[in-house]
Amino acid sequence: MSVPPHTRTLVERLTQLRQHQQDGKRSPHKPLLVLLALGRFARTGSSAMDWTEVEDRLGQLLIEFGPPRKGPAHPEFPFTRLRSDQVWNLSRDVPNDQLKDLRAEPITGYFPADIEAELKSDPSSIATVARLLVEDQFPLTVAPDVLGAVGLDPDVVFGSERAPKAQEQDRRRSSTWRHEILEAWDRSCAFCGFDGQLTGAVVGIEAAHVRWFNFGGPDDADNGLALCSLHHKLLDRGVLGLSDPETVVVSRTYSARTHEGRRVYDLHGLQIRPRPGTPLPAEEHVAWHSQEVFKAVSLTG
């Protein structure tokens, strides 16, 4: 039985959304629509958005930050289905998922009046909800990009106090995993070899999950790579991936004009080599990244 909206807090209502995320599959459609509406509300005091705008903006967000699915992005799915979560209204009734009905005449989507009233009475709740949504759906390398794309200030959102989700306990991250991964890869980027230090301390090298932690990725040695900050972000954005546990691939959708940008192409086909005794990424984690993160297909040749 669903819980009546009046018995749940604003944060619970906007973050506990029904999503199809079985077996580690990503489905950020509804969270991205809520974030887009929060961005509109923060700027204008209203969450209302015409379908023509949502079709364009949410469609682009799904292409940029969603999983690499074949076919269209389907922004109509969350625009119509978010009603079932009782946090979204449409200005006229339409069947779920039907583009022709959405395009037949103007239609607007918006948060219910009680949600907008709560957001107005407590503006800090915008940042709280946004932070919970992006931390649940994306790694921290990608979350600021998502927030900027929906019109929210990442510094404001991440400066907010993180409110825990009701009846849910976060998985506890290992306190030693980062150190273990950096040591296993000789404190250098597995892709480019960068090994900068500042007064003897590693700088610009990060421990990267191949399968994202918030989608079941374990803090295990075979789910980690030491990467420079740039290549960590490119891995999490789907520019870089692995065709097998030891071979780097570059997405065909990536492009660059400058010499420095084009150096990413040189990583295609690179064979990574960890320190002896260090496991390569497990095939199951590589497969997850290929299916849920890596954009389109890899370069040829």
pLDDT tens for 55-75 read 999 999 999 999 998 888 999
32 vs 4 pLDDT, higher one: 32
Q: In the chain, which residue ranges form alpha helices assigned H by DSSP? A: 10-15, 29-44, 51-65, 76-81, 99-104, 113-121, 124-137, 143-149, 154-158, 177-184, 229-236, 259-262, 283-292
So what's the pLDDT on residue 3? Answer: 45
Whether 58 contacts 36, CB under 8 Å: yes
Per-residue CA distances from 266 to 229, 238, 260, 294, 300 (Å): 18, 16, 11, 17, 12
Sequence spans of domains, the chain: 5-158, 177-292
What's the mean pLDDT when you consider all of the chain? Answer: 92
Binned at pLDDT 50, 70 and 90, residue 297 comes out as: confident
pTM assigned to the model: 0.89
Mean pLDDT of 255-283: 95
DSSP class per residue in 4-73: PGGGS-HHHHHHS-----GGG----HHHHHHHHHHHHHHHHS---EEHHHHHHHHHHHHHHHS---SS--
pLDDT tens for 147-185 read 999 999 999 999 876 655 544 445 678 889 999 999 999
So what's the pLDDT on residue 159? Answer: 87
Mean pLDDT of 22-30: 88
Mean pLDDT of 234-252: 97
Mean pLDDT of 221-233: 97
